[in-house]
Amino acid sequence: MLERLKDKTILFLEDNVEFAANTIALLQVFVRSVYHAKNISEAHQILHSDAIDIIICDVKLKNENGLNFIRDFREKNSATPILIISGHKDEEFLFRAIPLRLTAYLLKPIKYETLIDALISCLEVIDSYQIKKIELKEGWYYDTENKCLHKEGEGYNLNKKEALFMELLAQNRDRLITKEMINAAVWQFEVMSDSAITNFILRIRRRFGKNFIYTLPDIGYRLKT
């Protein structure tokens, strides 16, 4: 599968020159080109002039925040896979970053095997967006282009929150979905009560059937049992 990286390009936003040089040398073994940006301004210039398939971004840049860069980018592009790099694990950051649809969260120093797994995940994301309809579960498909659901030839229009929720499901088809994940993905940084999220799930079930999503009491939700 790694052979498919040979025609891909990467934007690497990292202000640590030594770390960037070592990582770029490794990435160049697998991809066609790696464009290095030391700050957000340089990253925007690269995005404007070159076609980028994958973005790798450090969280903390000198006097800048990588998360702000990603948030701005996601307003225009929801498909490009993004890998985040950080010197330490930050659970609060991970919850805040859910709406930004990160493909992987990598800790420095980056292990070779971890980087390879992350790059393979990027290829899977690229594939999923090339396929406009993603199967959520038996018979149900999410149309990524038109932001709607399909089942047995029938289409279901979605409002904004429903579409954001379906995107979350599409990215976590076989995983547990917590209320924190729903809060971050659907309400996007506006903190909602547990009852509001529960009522939202109830409305989803009324529209698409009581077995569309399953509840794991005090844990979260799953698409499949």
Enter the tokens of residue 223: 């698409």
List pLDDT tens digits, range 140-183. 999 887 889 988 778 899 999 999 999 999 888 888 999 989 98
Whole-number average pLDDT of the chain: 89
List pLDDT tens digits, range 20-77. 999 999 999 999 999 999 999 999 999 999 999 999 999 889 889 898 999 899 888 8
In the chain, where does the domain assigned CATH 3.40.50.2300 lie? 2-129
In the chain, where does the domain assigned CATH 1.10.10.10 lie? 132-222
Query: How far is residue 144's CA from residue 118's CA, in Å, rounded to a whole number?
Result: 22
How do beta strands 140-143 and 148-151 pair? antiparallel
Residue pair 22/48 in contact (Cβ under 8 Å)? The answer is: no
What number of other Cβ atoms are within 10 A of residue 60's Cβ? 15
Class in CATH terms, 2-129: alpha beta
CATH classification code of 132-222 = 1.10.10.10
Give 189's pLDDT tier (boundaries 50, 70, 90): low
Residue 183 to residues 73, 180, 186, Cα–Cα distance (Å):
21, 5, 6
DSSP 183: I
What is the pLDDT, as a whole number, of residue 209? 92
**pTM score, whole prediction:** 0.63
Q: What mean pLDDT is predicted for residues 94-99?
A: 72
